[in-house]
Amino acid sequence: MGHSDGIIGLPLRLLAREIYDRVVAQKGAANVALVTGEEKITPPQASYFVCTVEAMPLDRGFQFVAIDEIQLAADPERGHVFTDRLLYARGKQETMFLGAETIRGWIKRLVPEAEFVSRDRFSQLTYKGPKKISRLPSRSAIVTFSTNDVYAIAELVRRQRGGAAVVMGSLSPRTRNAQVELYQSGDVDYLVATDAIGMGLNMDIDHVAFASTYKFDGVMSRSLSAGEMAQIAGRAGRHMNDGSFGVTANVQPLDEELIDQIEDHRFEPLKNLRWRSNELAFNTVRDLTRSLERPPTFGGLISPREPDDYQALKALSRDEEIQHYSRTPHKVRQLWQVCQIPDFRKTMHDVHIRLLKQIFINLQGPSGKLPTDWIAGHLNKLKRTDGDIDTLATRIAHVRTWTYISHVAEWVDDYKHWQDAARSIEDKLSDALHEQLTQRFVDRRTAVLVRKLKDSSQLEAVINEAGDVHVEGHFIGTLNGLRFASDMSVNSTEARTLKNIGNKTVAKEITGRAQQMALAEDNAFALNELGEISWNGMQVGRLLKGESVLKPKVTLLASEQLNGAPLEAANKRLAGWISQEVSKRLNPLVKLADLPLTGAARGIAFQVSENLGALPRFKLNDQIRILDKKDFGRLKFGGLRVGYEHVFMPLLLKPDPTALRCLLWAIHEERESIPALPPAGRVSFEVTERLPREYYLTAGYALFKNLAIRLDMLDRLAGLLRRASRGLLEPDTPAPEVKTAE
């Protein structure tokens, strides 16, 4: 900008808009023009022109001319345009070609008077190898080459790291800028992009990860060249900040030679440049076609892959109606102008050709203009801002076509009106697309939390009485006892991210609770009928099968960050409380083991204890027969009744010890579910749920088909029957009431 006027040609509309904004900031909007296929801002007094290479108005002389990324002269599709600028675009005072070292040889041959100035990269670029997407560092750009892959990766990043901005060449500048701002502002720490970031788009990227090293170039799927990879990888770092590049875990690691080429920026010189004649003949369509097909005469220059405009010309020239209207040089020139309308939609070639035909035929009307109603009809169909990402992107592509058309002043009446109308629709669609991209690929809650977690500052956490955990105003889960449950309304991958953040946030609270629990009084704990232990109403443990039925294993229910001394203290307190609870509620059974017994009596006490206080007598008859009176008396003193049919402890038939004994039996038997307790206080009941006989015995009942009779009542009944059989029963002795099953 040291010249009085100048023009620069850039490879992308997005980049042209970015440079235009920078020049406007220095020179003022009145002095700067923007000229692309779809956008023309040309103030009357503009001295500085920022353009796409194809749209450069070279019929006007400039003191300074610059072409960026001149090495694109080798591009199969667009290279001929860059080669043309290399050959013919000259400033009155200075001409500058900006590009890669690979084109130095060609510039020497075609512009022998050129002087070369090299600018080495200030920062170092280092290969970091493969990494899973979930483990990529923040401020990373993930690069792939299809829209579907961009979407899939962005969704993955959203789930794992809170979100990503999306940049693709098909985005409008407005959408692109909004997405870039999303990244630059730090709202998200990741960018998922196509190779659109390889040119311009200087952002704060520390690492570039290739999620693919293949791209479809319009003809076939091929590997990226070393130069292409370097162009993209070079987005990392910039200026004085070192950068790195690598691949994602699903991509083969790069070979050493390729890594060295990228790190050292050392590539093979370009062998060929693309060329197409700019001396076009417009006498007839055939003459125009032949001039476009003229082969290059300079060694090493080769023809481009059939460009879209040439393909359109060939297709339209076969149409009889087109042939009828293109018989004069003026009409041939107009047809060629129509053929140069870009196919922004990139969907079906035939659809684009049909549109071009309609445009050309409409231009043959009396006014020589496109019908206003026809333009309005097409634009009105594109005004809707509803729909998904693909629908909005398709509408924008359609609008770009009409934006391009509106900038050909001789085609439309009131062209400024239609330029404004098309721009307004594109802006609204662009805003809607940005919103859709953000909604789909950014979870602001997780993004904020991930970013806060990365900071060294303490997270602001609030835990309410219900245990709900909020961090920075965002609900992330619930703290129940010593466990943190992340918000499971999100998918599982995102839940892991939130759980990690939540665990760190509530670590101090969980540790404090564990320390309080270790010092709590016995009455702060409770054991329910499912074997779950609570402390102050919060579940903190569960019983599992242990070394014996009276010594169940206690499992502490706590999040993984509880460890060390607080964990040991909490475990010890729960185990101690359960031991005391069993001793207190099953006191007769525990005391039985402590009696000074010997021989057969000790064996009987052990078996009764292992069977939770009740056994059929026939299992102990051999030991009962050899009991002496002293041991028999001690057993009786300990609360053991040696009945006619069973050996049991009457004090354990009460509801509370019965409930605990049934729970311990179910835990030791590792039952999937805890059986319901028999009806409290009933001496007998009808059995409707068939469970093991041992369960009913533990509950204090003997089972007779579908009738359960309480052991003490059965023993009393058995005693009465025995006395009656010996004639010892008084006639008025009442029999115990025992319900019979029908």
Residue 273 placed within a domain: no
Comparing CA positions, the residue from 643, 689, 698 lying closest to residue 669 is 698
Looking at residue 58, the DSSP 8-state letter turns out to be T
pLDDT at 440: 92
pLDDT at 726: 77
User: For the chain, what is the mean pLDDT?
Assistant: 89
Residue 313 placed within a domain: yes
Claim to verify: residue 102 and residue 159 sit in the same structural domain: no
Who has greater pLDDT, 455 or 538? Answer: 538
3-state secondary structure at position 410: helix
Comparing CA positions, the residue from 529, 547, 554 lying closest to residue 671 is 529
pLDDT at 557: 95
Claim to verify: residue 411 and residue 346 sit in the same structural domain: yes
Residue 213 placed within a domain: yes
pLDDT at 723: 83
Comparing CA positions, the residue from 648, 589, 653, 647 lying closest to residue 618 is 647
Who has greater pLDDT, 201 or 742? Answer: 201
Please name the amino acid found at residue 311.
Q
- Counting the structural domains of the chain, the total is 4
- CA distances to 143, 157, 293, 406, 556 from 168, rounded to whole Å, are 10, 17, 33, 24, 51
Comparing CA positions, the residue from 359, 377, 369, 370 lying closest to residue 319 is 359
Give this prediction's pTM: 0.66
Stretch (H or E) spanning 498: helix 492-518
pLDDT at 144: 95
pLDDT at 259 over 50: yes
pLDDT digit string, tens, across residues 137-164: 999 999 999 999 999 999 999 988 889 9
Claim to verify: residue 36 and residue 84 sit in the same structural domain: yes
Segment 24-39 mean pLDDT: 93
Segment 373-393 mean pLDDT: 94
pLDDT at 238 over 80: no
- Give the position of tokens 């805003």: 431
CATH number at residue 81: 3.40.50.300
- Could you tell me the pLDDT band of residue 28, with boundaries at 50, 70 and 90? very high
Backbone φ, ψ for residue 589 (5° rounding): -70, -40
pLDDT at 536 over 90: yes
| Contact assessment for residue 341 and residue 405, using Cβ atoms and an 8 Å cutoff | yes
pLDDT at 531: 94
Structure tokens at 615: 């056994």
Claim to verify: residue 319 and residue 296 sit in the same structural domain: yes
Cβ neighbours of residue 348 closer than 8 Å, sequence gap 6 or more: none
Comparing CA positions, the residue from 42, 47, 44 lying closest to residue 26 is 47
pLDDT at 570: 96
Segment 699-725 mean pLDDT: 90
- Could you tell me the pLDDT band of residue 487, with boundaries at 50, 70 and 90? confident
| Contact assessment for residue 344 and residue 400, using Cβ atoms and an 8 Å cutoff | yes
- Report CA 175 to chain centroid distance, whole Å: 21
Claim to verify: residue 421 and residue 463 sit in the same structural domain: no
- Give the position of tokens 């903190």: 540
Torsion of CA 152, 154, 156, 157, to 10 degrees: 160
Q: Which of 58-62, 126-130, 485-489, 632-636 has the lowest mean pLDDT?
A: 485-489
Cβ neighbours of residue 718 closer than 8 Å, sequence gap 6 or more: 643, 644, 645
Claim to verify: residue 162 and residue 218 sit in the same structural domain: yes
Segment 659-680 mean pLDDT: 91
- Could you tell me the pLDDT band of residue 492, with boundaries at 50, 70 and 90? very low
Looking at the chain, the whole-number percentage of residues with pLDDT higher than 70 is 92
Please spell the DSSP secondary structure of 432-450, one letter per residue: HHHHHHHHHHB-HHHHHHH
pLDDT digit string, tens, across residues 577-633: 999 999 999 999 988 878 888 888 999 999 999 999 999 999 999 999 988 888 888
Claim to verify: residue 415 and residue 329 sit in the same structural domain: yes
Who has greater pLDDT, 477 or 738? Answer: 477
Claim to verify: residue 326 and residue 217 sit in the same structural domain: no
3-state secondary structure at position 150: helix
Domain, as residue range, for 29: 6-110
pLDDT at 169: 81
Residue 170 placed within a domain: yes
Residue 676 placed within a domain: no
Who has greater pLDDT, 730 or 61? Answer: 61
pLDDT digit string, tens, across residues 325-355: 999 999 999 999 999 999 887 766 789 999 9
3-state secondary structure at position 153: helix
Nearest 5 degrees, angle CA 428-CA 432-CA 436? 170
Looking at residue 78, the DSSP 8-state letter turns out to be T
Residue 566 placed within a domain: no
- Give the position of tokens 């300990």: 638
pLDDT at 511 over 90: yes
- Could you tell me the pLDDT band of residue 500, with boundaries at 50, 70 and 90? low
pLDDT at 195: 85
Claim to verify: residue 377 and residue 251 sit in the same structural domain: no
- Could you tell me the pLDDT band of residue 522, with boundaries at 50, 70 and 90? very high
Claim to verify: residue 415 and residue 295 sit in the same structural domain: yes
pLDDT at 350: 87
pLDDT at 725: 79
Please name the amino acid found at residue 408.
V
In this structure, the number of other CB atoms found within 10 A of the CB of residue 107 comes to 17
Q: Out of 508, 524, 541, pick the residue that ends a domain.
A: 508
Q: Out of 460, 477, 508, pick the residue that ends a domain.
A: 508
pLDDT at 219 over 90: no
CA distance 144 to 546: 55
pLDDT at 454: 63
Claim to verify: residue 89 and residue 47 sit in the same structural domain: yes
pLDDT digit string, tens, across residues 677-710: 888 888 999 988 888 999 999 999 999 988 999 9
pLDDT at 472 over 80: no
Residue 349 placed within a domain: yes
CA distance 354 to 342: 13
Q: Which of 268-272, 345-349, 440-444 has the lowest mean pLDDT?
A: 345-349
Q: Out of 429, 463, 491, pick the residue that ends a domain.
A: 429
pLDDT at 648 over 50: yes
Please name the amino acid found at residue 244.
S
CA distance 191 to 210: 12
Structure tokens at 80: 């001929």
pLDDT at 456: 45
Q: Which of 101-115, 221-235, 362-376, 568-582 has the lowest mean pLDDT?
A: 221-235
Looking at the chain, the whole-number percentage of residues with pLDDT higher than 90 is 68
- Give the position of tokens 């009889």: 320
Give the residues across from 527 on adjacent strands: 533
pLDDT at 630: 87
pLDDT at 735 over 70: no
Comparing CA positions, the residue from 228, 271, 276 lying closest to residue 81 is 276
Claim to verify: residue 131 and residue 29 sit in the same structural domain: no
Comparing CA positions, the residue from 1, 47, 39, 43 lying closest to residue 17 is 39
Residue 129 placed within a domain: yes
pLDDT digit string, tens, across residues 274-297: 999 999 999 999 999 999 999 998
